[in-house]
Amino acid sequence: MVESTQVGIPIIPAPREKLDYHAMGVLQEALGDWDVWLGSERQSTQHWEAFLRIVRWALDYQDDNGGWEIWPRFGRPEALPYSAMAQGEAMSMFARAFSVTGDEAYLEGARAALAPMLTPIDKGGASWLASEGLILEEIPYEVPNTILNGWIFALFGLYDLTLVDDSRDAREALEASMSALMAYLRVYDAEFWSFYDTSGTLASPFYHRLHIAQLEALELTYPEHESQFGKLRESFDEHLTSPLNMTRAVAMKGYQKLQHPPKELKR
């Protein structure tokens, strides 16, 4: 990524040869700065200032609905603009900033970010209600195709918001989404690897490892569900250590990409 004219805020290429802010990438940069700052025992002024710079940017760029539009601006016109993953990452970022500074503006930013996440897809939001509970969509389509890592990151955002704000909406959404996630976990188990989404796209080795890390975090966060999350994590761990499974996964992933190449390869 390159630096924008607003120093310290990353921008990336967008369609039509433009540069633009991709909110998800910017928010992840902030959370990375936070982690480094914590790792320095809160001594790294550089990373703390970088974190707050993005927090302030996010407040400035948060729209009247409480969100940051992403997908139509970055080559996915068929997707709805908001991402539950980005909204959740914003909640996590704002909650952290508020926990240290006590600045109410950051808490208000986190509260406002909840609305686009919980607005149903058929009304332009980033979630939908299944019989099992609330499904959070990283890339919301009219016909959902739920991405596992994005759903979990969005759920972590709800969790972080509940730590700093006694929001009934956030608590109820968190409970409903946890219920759905536990019911849907089996959908992401390919029995020799993990699926990236509910359409059967196989996860890359990077995302398979990310699934393992996320499941471990869920185990630690929800000890009452440790056995369910832990069983799947252990299974995914075993898949990763098997040379046969790794070879099979990489081969199948390559085949899937050939069947459905990125748009830039179709031109």
Q: What is the pLDDT of residues 32-72, one digit of tens each?
A: 999 999 999 999 999 999 999 999 999 999 999 999 999 98
Q: What residue spans define the domains of the chain?
A: 2-188, 189-259
pLDDT of residue 264: 43
Q: How far apart are CA 170 and CA 160, in angstroms?
A: 10
Instruction: Tell whether the model's pLDDT for residue 154 goes beyond 70.
Output: yes
Q: Where are the beta strands (DSSP E) in 95-226?
A: 127-130, 133-136
Q: Which tokens hold the place of 259?
A: 């069947």
pLDDT tens per residue, range 193-214? 999 999 999 999 999 999 999 9
Burial 189-224 (b: 16+ CB within 10 A, else e): ebebbbbbbbeebbbbeebbebbbebbeebbeeeee
Q: Which helix (H) or strand (E) holds 19?
A: strand 18-20
Contact 103, 116 (CB under 8 A): no
What is the Cβ-side half-sphere exposure of residue 170, based on CA atoms within 13 angstroms? 24
The structural architecture, per CATH, of the domain 2-188 is Alpha/alpha barrel (1.50)
